[in-house]
Chains A and B, each alone.
Chain A
Amino acid sequence: MSSEKYTIVIGLETHVQLQTRTKLFCSCSTKFGAAPNTQTCPICSGNPGTLPVMNRRAFDLGLQTALALNCTIAPFTKWDRKQYYYPDLPKGYQISQYDLPFSSEGHLEISDSKGRFETKRVGIFRAHLEEDAGKSMHDEQAGKADSKIDLNRTGTPLLEIVTKPDMRSPAEAKAYLTELKLLLTYLGVSDCNMQEGSLRVDANVNLHIDTPAGKIATPIVEIKNMNSFRAVEKAIGYEAERQYADWQETGKKLGDPGVFKQTRGWDDTAGVTRSQRAKEESSDYRYFPDPDLVPVTVSPERIEEVRRTLGELPAQLRTRLETTYAITPYDSEVIVNQERKFVDYFTEVAAACGDGKMASNWLQQDVLRVMSERDLTIESYPVRAAALAELLLKVKAGDVDTSRGREVLQRMFDHGENAAAAMSALGIEKVDESALVSLCEELVAANPRLVADVKAGKMQAAGAFVGQAKKKNPNANPARIRDLCLEIIAKLP
Chain B
Amino acid sequence: MHEQTATELLGLLHSGKVSSEELTKAYAERIAAIDPKVGAFLRVDVDGALAQARAIDARRKSGEKLGKLAGLPVAVKDLLCSQGDLATCGSKMLADYRAPYDSTIVARLKSADAVLLGRTNMDEFAMGGSTENSALGKTQNPWDLTRTPGGSSGGAAACVAADMACLSIGTDTGGSIRQPAAHCGITGLKPTYGRVSRHGLIAFASSLDQAGPMTRTAEDAALLLETIAGPDPLDSTCIAEPAPRYTETVREPLQGLTLGLVREHFAAGLDGDVERAVREAIKVYESLGAKVKEISFPHAKYGVAVYYIIAPCEASSNLARYDGVHYGRRTDEAKLVAELDAERKELLAAGRKREAEQLDTSLVRLYRKSRAEGFGPEVKRRVMLGTYALSAGYYDAYYLKALKVRRLIRQDYDEAFRQVDLIAGPVTTSPAFKIGEKVADPMAMYLVDLYTVSANLAGVGGISIPCGASPAGLPIGLQLQCPPLAEDKLLRAAHMFQTATDWHQRRPKL
Chain A residues close to B by CB (< 8 Å):
42, 45-54, 81, 83, 85, 87, 90-93, 282, 284, 286, 288, 291-294
* 8 Å CB interface, B217-249 against A: 233-237
In the complex, identify which listed stretch (B15-23, B25-33, B201-209, B446-454) lies at the interface while the others stay far away: B201-209
Given contacts A42-B100, A284-B391, A286-B390, contact A49 B201 (CB under 8 A): yes
On whether the beta carbons of B87 and A49 are closer than 8 Å, the reply is yes
On whether the beta carbons of A51 and B392 are closer than 8 Å, the reply is no
The contact of B313 among A46, A47, A53, A288, by CB within 8 Å, is A288
Given the complex, which residues of B lie within 8 Å of A284, measured CB to CB? Answer: 391-392
Given the complex, which residues of B lie within 8 Å of A54, measured CB to CB? Answer: 236
* 8 Å CB interface, B428-480 against A: none
The contact of B99 among A49, A52, A85, A291, by CB within 8 Å, is A49
On whether the beta carbons of B367 and A48 are closer than 8 Å, the reply is no
Can you offer 19 A-B residue contacts whose CB atoms are under 8 A? A42-B100, A42-B101, A47-B99, A48-B99, A48-B327, A49-B79, A49-B87, A49-B103, A50-B199, A53-B233, A81-B317, A87-B325, A91-B326, A282-B392, A284-B391, A286-B317, A292-B206, A293-B237, A294-B236
On whether the beta carbons of A93 and B317 are closer than 8 Å, the reply is yes
B399 located at the interface, meaning its Cβ lies under 8 Å from any Cβ of chain A in the complex: yes
B94 located at the interface, meaning its Cβ lies under 8 Å from any Cβ of chain A in the complex: yes
* 8 Å CB interface, B122-165 against A: none
On whether the beta carbons of B202 and A49 are closer than 8 Å, the reply is yes
**Closest chain A residue, CB of each to CB of B200:** A49
Given the complex, which residues of B lie within 8 Å of A93, measured CB to CB? Answer: 317, 320
The contact of A92 among B87, B206, B321, by CB within 8 Å, is B321
The contact of A288 among B99, B236, B367, B399, by CB within 8 Å, is B399
Given contacts A48-B87, A49-B202, contact A92 B236 (CB under 8 A): no
Given the complex, which residues of A lie within 8 Å of B321, measured CB to CB? Answer: 46, 48, 90-92
CA of A87 to CA of B366, assembled, Å: 11
Given the complex, which residues of A lie within 8 Å of B367, measured CB to CB? Answer: 85
B81 located at the interface, meaning its Cβ lies under 8 Å from any Cβ of chain A in the complex: yes
Give how many A-B residue pairs fall within 8 Å (CB-CB): 100
The contact of A51 among B99, B199, B313, B326, by CB within 8 Å, is B199
* 8 Å CB interface, B349-385 against A: 363-364, 367
Given the complex, which residues of B lie within 8 Å of A90, measured CB to CB? Answer: 321, 326
CA of A141 to CA of B112, assembled, Å: 54
On whether the beta carbons of B237 and A294 are closer than 8 Å, the reply is yes
On whether the beta carbons of B234 and A53 are closer than 8 Å, the reply is yes
- How far in angstroms is the closest Cβ of chain B from A252? 22
The 8 A-B pairs with the shortest beta carbon distances in the complex, nearest first, are: A92-B320, A291-B206, A291-B207, A286-B390, A48-B202, A49-B200, A49-B202, A284-B392
**Closest chain B residue, CB of each to CB of A281:** B392
Given A49-B203, A83-B317, 17 other A-B residues pairs in contact with their CB atoms under 8 A: A46-B326, A47-B327, A49-B79, A49-B103, A49-B200, A51-B199, A53-B234, A54-B236, A85-B367, A91-B321, A92-B321, A92-B323, A93-B317, A93-B320, A286-B316, A292-B237, A294-B237
Given the complex, which residues of A lie within 8 Å of B391, measured CB to CB? Answer: 284, 286
- How far in angstroms is the closest Cβ of chain A from B106? 10
- How far in angstroms is the closest Cβ of chain A from B398? 11
Given the complex, which residues of B lie within 8 Å of A85, measured CB to CB? Answer: 320, 323, 364, 367
- Map CB proximity to A onto B187-216 as digits: 1 under 8 Å, 0 otherwise: 000000000001111110111000000000
Given the complex, which residues of A lie within 8 Å of B101, measured CB to CB? Answer: 42, 47, 50
On whether the beta carbons of B314 and A291 are closer than 8 Å, the reply is yes
Chain B residues close to A by CB (< 8 Å):
79-81, 87, 89, 94, 97, 99-101, 103, 198-203, 205-207, 233-237, 313-314, 316-317, 320-321, 323, 325-327, 363-364, 367, 387, 390-392, 395, 399
CA of A85 to CA of B368, assembled, Å: 11
**Closest chain A residue, CB of each to CB of B238:** A51
CA of A12 to CA of B30, assembled, Å: 68
Given the complex, which residues of B lie within 8 Å of A48, measured CB to CB? Answer: 81, 87, 89, 94, 97, 99, 202-203, 321, 327
**Closest chain B residue, CB of each to CB of A54:** B236
CA of A50 to CA of B200, assembled, Å: 5
**Closest chain A residue, CB of each to CB of B100:** A42
Given the complex, which residues of A lie within 8 Å of B203, measured CB to CB? Answer: 48-49, 292
**Closest chain A residue, CB of each to CB of B208:** A291
CA of A85 to CA of B325, assembled, Å: 10
CA of A90 to CA of B321, assembled, Å: 6
CA of A293 to CA of B387, assembled, Å: 21
Given the complex, which residues of B lie within 8 Å of A83, measured CB to CB? Answer: 317, 320, 390
CA of A53 to CA of B313, assembled, Å: 21
On whether the beta carbons of A92 and B198 are closer than 8 Å, the reply is no
The contact of B363 among A45, A87, A292, A293, by CB within 8 Å, is A87
**Closest chain B residue, CB of each to CB of A296:** B236
CA of A282 to CA of B94, assembled, Å: 33
On whether the beta carbons of B314 and A53 are closer than 8 Å, the reply is no
Given the complex, which residues of A lie within 8 Å of B103, measured CB to CB? Answer: 49
CA of A46 to CA of B97, assembled, Å: 13
**Closest chain B residue, CB of each to CB of A285:** B392
- How far in angstroms is the closest Cβ of chain A from B104? 10
Given the complex, which residues of A lie within 8 Å of B327, measured CB to CB? Answer: 46-48
Given the complex, which residues of B lie within 8 Å of A282, measured CB to CB? Answer: 392
Given contacts A87-B363, A291-B206, A291-B207, contact A51 B317 (CB under 8 A): no
Given the complex, which residues of A lie within 8 Å of B79, measured CB to CB? Answer: 49
CA of A294 to CA of B237, assembled, Å: 6
Given the complex, which residues of A lie within 8 Å of B314, measured CB to CB? Answer: 291
User: Which of B198, B320, B327 has the most chain A CB atoms inside 10 A of its CB?
Assistant: B320
**Closest chain B residue, CB of each to CB of A84:** B320
On whether the beta carbons of A49 and B326 are closer than 8 Å, the reply is no
**Closest chain A residue, CB of each to CB of B97:** A48
On whether the beta carbons of B390 and A288 are closer than 8 Å, the reply is yes
Given the complex, which residues of B lie within 8 Å of A45, measured CB to CB? Answer: 326
- How far in angstroms is the closest Cβ of chain A from B411? 19
Given the complex, which residues of B lie within 8 Å of A294, measured CB to CB? Answer: 236-237
- How far in angstroms is the closest Cβ of chain B from A492? 92
On whether the beta carbons of B199 and A49 are closer than 8 Å, the reply is yes
On whether the beta carbons of B323 and A51 are closer than 8 Å, the reply is no
- How far in angstroms is the closest Cβ of chain B from A366? 54
- How far in angstroms is the closest Cβ of chain A from B385? 13
CA of A85 to CA of B321, assembled, Å: 9
CA of A282 to CA of B393, assembled, Å: 13
Given the complex, which residues of A lie within 8 Å of B323, measured CB to CB? Answer: 85, 92
- How far in angstroms is the closest Cβ of chain B from A154? 11
Given contacts A42-B101, A286-B391, A288-B395, contact A49 B81 (CB under 8 A): yes
Given the complex, which residues of A lie within 8 Å of B94, measured CB to CB? Answer: 48
CA of A47 to CA of B89, assembled, Å: 13
**Closest chain B residue, CB of each to CB of A87:** B325
Given the complex, which residues of A lie within 8 Å of B399, measured CB to CB? Answer: 288
- How far in angstroms is the closest Cβ of chain B from A161? 25
User: Which of A54, A85, A93, A284 has the most chain B CB atoms inside 10 A of its CB?
Assistant: A85
